[in-house]
Chains A and B, each alone.
Chain A
Amino acid sequence: MNVVLMVWRQENRDTAGRLQRIEAKDISSEMSFLEMLDVVNERLILAGERPIAFDHDCREGICGSCGVVINGTAHGPRRGTTTCQLHMREFHDGQTIVIEPYRAKPFPVLRDLVVDRSALDRITAAGGFVSASTGSAPDGNAIPVAKPKAEAAMDAAACIGCGACVAACPNAAAMLFVGAKISHLGLLPQGQPERWMRAEAMVAAMDREGFGPCTNVTECAAVCPKEINLSVIARMNRDRMAAVFLVARRSPRGDTA
């Protein structure tokens, strides 16, 4: 099959970018989207041009490295799928495919389709962990976790941090990502001691990075490759509200109030 790519090309974060038209001929419909880009890049290199820069790593849909906006949708037209797991059979012969990087102030474009997503790492570093020393793996059933809670925590933990929720949100909000991190720890016994501090610190980090507010448009969940449920955002809101009263605060004298 032959397709026409309209790819965002940008030298670095300080220069202006533009869409470049590249004709990709003789593409196999069995190729993944990234394999198609690999083939296009081989040809660009042979022609003496700079290849298209794009992020990728595991190519099996679990690392969260890949992710571009394809024809206006983060990760492309297939639901519940990362860009690397998208195949060219989802497109038709002769189709024009617009490929753009994720757009958000906290995600500066580094080159072409590569954006700096370390803002998400900084949010995780603000509280997306359990700091208690837990030793080696506990005996099975030593810490009881109700089945529905275990399932909900696992669903939230499926987040791979790809940033598609931010890319798809009309406000560039990171609520689904932060909600997933807060929910996956907040639902489990190990996450309870730091639950309220975590909600307060991660929301503050999210605001500091400059992500937008949520308007409940629900585009984030519609593009999430792990199909994270919107209820994680509600849980984050509840935990952040409760944190106003439940976080132990230090008085000026140093004792906890």
Chain B
Amino acid sequence: MAAIWYFLRSTIGLKVVMAVSGFFLFGFLVEHMIGNLLFFLGPDLLNGYAELLHASQLFLWTARSVMILAAGFHATTALVLYLRQRAARPVGYRRTRSRTFSYAARTMKYTGPLVLVFVLFHLAHFTLGWQVTPAPFVEGDVYANVVASFQHTWVAVVYVVAVLLVGFHFIHGGHSLFESLGVRHPRFDGLIRTVTGGFAVAVTVGFVALPCAILFKLAGG
């Protein structure tokens, strides 16, 4: 046990925590996106799916606990790593020039907290049922709630921007999680970057489709 704890406090152990918790968070996003796409198959399927998720309180709270733990570990570990980064270079350079121009990597510290803020708003909006739009929140009628909300431009815009931030976060996080777990080889780097980049684009497009379809009155009318 002591050996594991000693490892987890090292910079490499902390990165492993980031990678594993990030993997769980992204896995949830894939599941969430597939659930969202049921919207296009009609209210019965979407509401039925929501009902299914709530069928067992044990299952629901187990799943929720895993996500809360993953998010908690991801955020606190990110903070610890960020503070170590700051401490490692107290005096900066007058001039810096990047050779790799990895914008996604360098903006992780901004995209991460912004996504967290959005997730809190999103939970308040669709899970706790805060009335962010004039239409009343109907418990259980996911379809109606979604349609009523995304007719408002600002709700749709906030959602789309947040999803783009998540996608950008995953452009770096996707291949980075493999590297942190020690999976890197010149022969496979291209493949890993292509597959994780493809996943980032696919999930982003999947999430953006729903609010855009409602806002532009292509579905849910």
Contact = CB atoms under 8 A, between A and B. Distances in A.
A218 B100 contact: yes
B98 A236 contact: no
B4 interface: yes
Interface of A: 6, 19, 69, 71-73, 98, 100, 103-106, 168, 170-173, 203-204, 206-207, 210-219, 222-223, 229-231, 233-238, 240-241, 243-245, 247, 249
7 contacts: A172-B85, A172-B88, A207-B10, A215-B176, A234-B183, A240-B13, A241-B12
Interface stretch (B32-40, B101-109, B153-161): B101-109
A21 to B, nearest CB: 12
B124 to A, nearest CB: 31
B183 to A, nearest CB: 7
B221 interface: no
A62 B59 CA distance: 61
Interface string B3-38: 110010011111110000000000000000000000
Contacts of B2: 249
B81 to A, nearest CB: 5
B92 to A, nearest CB: 6
A104 B13 CA distance: 22
B95 A104 contact: no
B169 interface: no
A252 to B, nearest CB: 11
Given A231-B184, A241-B12, A19 B89 contact: no
Given A207-B10, A237-B181, A244-B4, A219 B98 contact: yes
Given A213-B81, A216-B175, A223-B99, 15 more contacts: A72-B96, A104-B89, A105-B87, A105-B89, A204-B10, A212-B11, A213-B15, A214-B11, A214-B15, A219-B100, A234-B179, A236-B12, A240-B13, A241-B7, A241-B16
Nearest to B109: A215
Interface of B: 2-4, 7, 10-16, 81, 84-85, 87-100, 102, 105-106, 108, 172, 175-176, 179-186
A84 B94 CA distance: 22
A100 B184 CA distance: 33
A30 B163 CA distance: 54
Nearest to B184: A234
Interface residues of chain A: helix, strand, loop or mixed (majority): mixed
Nearest to B105: A217
A216 B180 CA distance: 8
A215 B94 contact: no
A243 B182 CA distance: 13
A212 B182 contact: no
Given A100-B94, A217-B105, A241-B12, A171 B85 contact: yes
Nearest to B98: A219
Nearest to A235: B182
Looking at A211, A215, A235, A243, the one whose CB has the most chain B CB atoms below 10 A away is A215
B88 A100 contact: no
Given A104-B89, A105-B89, A213 B84 contact: yes
A217 B102 contact: yes
Closest A-B pairs by Cβ, 10 of them: A212-B88, A72-B97, A238-B182, A234-B184, A222-B99, A172-B88, A237-B182, A171-B85, A72-B95, A213-B11
Contacts of B105: 215-217
Contacts of A216: 105, 172, 175-176, 179-180
A179 B161 CA distance: 38
A104 B84 CA distance: 12
A173 B105 CA distance: 15
Contacts of B7: 240-241, 243-244
B16 A207 contact: no
Contacts of A238: 182
Contact of A211 (B14, B88, B181): B88
Contacts of A219: 98-100, 102
Nearest to B178: A234
B93 A69 contact: yes
Given A216-B176, A229-B186, A240 B12 contact: yes
B193 to A, nearest CB: 11
Nearest to A170: B106
